[in-house]
Amino acid sequence: MRPDFRYLILLWLACLVACSIINLFYFPHATIFPDEQRFLASAARLAATGEFWVGYDRAWEMPGTAAFFAPVVWLFGANGAVLPIRIAQAFLLVVQSALIAFTALRIFGKSTTALVAASIVSFYPFFLFYQGLLLSEALFNTLLLAAIASLYLWRDRGLRVDLAFVVSCLCFVAATLTKSTLTILPPLLIAATAWAAGAQLRRVFIILLAASCLYAAFMSPWWIRNATLLGTFVPFTTGSALNLYLGNNSHNPEAGIDWASDVEPGVFATILALPNEMERQRAFGEAAMNYIKNNPTAFIRAAVKKFVRFWNVIPNAREFKSGLYSVISAASFGPILLLALICAVRRWRQWRLVVPLYLLIGYFTLVHVITIASLRYRLPIEPILILLAAEPLGALFERIRQSVIRPAKKSGSPQC
């Protein structure tokens, strides 16, 4: 059963109106956070020179966000690009809603569930907030959801190495080029999807090999570019070790993410002064790993705190921890988390159907428990949680609808 497209069109128009109101009247007509300024500066330099830089570094982060912003910056200039980028990201939220509806219909086969999932995504407070920020989240979430949608399409088409398989790999690569968090997960996730769908081990191995080759082929321009500029193989970024160090050093027992107070001042300043980004990456990585090896108990204690930060129903930041922001967060994410858990219980016999979603949730949790954690880094898996939460909510709506229809039919029956 297909969802009502008239409702979806109205839903998406309402979503765009809500985004426009937020972008015009809530946000200032300029960037707010330092990360926004960094992405915008990289985009401006890319538009002007055709070269990707992050400050003085060549591979500190992935280039996808800067490449997405660059055409807008080229057209409107850096100062005039803020609002057009927000408008583009508002449309990305509509695309996310459509992808969630498609995936929900593929997994659960219920149009009500698809409509519920699309509706929640369109007006979820965190998504409405982040579409107005010039960060990587809006683009990354869209590409990740496109990869998941194509992954389930490929699954339903018989696990063949066909166009759907290629598109899935390509979407995962595009997401990785936007945010390096996925690293080598995509080929493994594709193979795990085949295994969960009942493929024989030999078939799973062939799929893993094919996915790995495609993933490497699509990633190779970034690898070749980095090897040419940096003289060594850099598969993802040179900034990842910095986050590992921030989350694992003697001055951060509370597992915070404040660069001003949660690092060792002497060590941090010394490493940051190194002129070569590869040297900085190695130094930050070594400092973090030495701390973990020498302080395993502190590492585990911090990991628990990061887990709590990652799954907190209210914001962790002091300025957002109380008042309206806290209420909105608890009232939106709290029910979604509870309903997603209910879905896991309701569908435990069909775990093979949703195992790719569970793997993504577990993977993102693990990465950020090891490195650094905040609600922002949880954002990519919140559409997945909404997808799961929509299943019991859709079933409830169906039950209510049926309870209304039956009495109406009885009351309208002919009298003998």
CA angle 375, 380, 382 (to 5 degrees): 75
133 by DSSP, 3-state: which?
coil
189/268 Cα distance (integer angstroms): 36
What are the helix (H) ranges across 177-295?
185-196, 201-230, 240-247, 265-272, 277-294
Chain centre to alpha carbon of residue 259: 23
- For residue 92, give both structure tokens: 């990305």
pLDDT tens per residue across all 416 residues of the chain? 567 789 999 999 999 999 999 999 999 999 999 999 999 999 999 999 999 999 999 999 999 999 999 999 999 999 899 999 999 999 999 999 999 999 999 999 999 999 999 999 999 999 999 999 999 999 999 999 999 999 999 999 999 999 999 999 999 999 999 999 999 999 999 999 999 999 999 999 999 999 999 999 999 999 999 999 999 999 999 999 999 999 999 999 999 999 889 999 999 999 999 999 999 999 999 999 999 999 999 999 999 999 999 999 998 877 777 788 899 999 999 999 999 999 999 999 889 999 999 999 999 999 999 999 999 999 999 999 999 999 999 999 888 888 877 665 565 544 43
pLDDT for res 398: 87
Residue 408 lies in a domain: no
**Block residue for tokens 């569930």:** 113
At a CB cut-off of 8 Å and minimum separation 6, what does 199 contact? Answer: 159, 207
Task: Report which of 54, 34, 82 is spatially closest to residue 180, judged by C-alpha positions.
Answer: 54
- For residue 50, give both structure tokens: 């055709």
Residue 409 lies in a domain: no
Total domains present in the chain: 1
- For residue 229, give both structure tokens: 């500029």
**Block residue for tokens 């910095």:** 242
Residue 100 lies in a domain: yes
Residue 317 lies in a domain: yes
Domain that holds residue 167: 5-401
Residue 414 lies in a domain: no
207/94 Cα distance (integer angstroms): 32
Residue 410 lies in a domain: no
In degrees and rounded to multiples of 5, residue 122 shows phi and psi of -65, -30
Residue 195 lies in a domain: yes
Q: Which amino acid is at 219?
A: M
**Block residue for tokens 């590992």:** 244
Q: Which amino acid is at 323?
A: G
Residue 413 lies in a domain: no
At a CB cut-off of 8 Å and minimum separation 6, what does 282 contact? Answer: 241
Task: Specify the DSSP class assigned to residue 24.
Answer: I
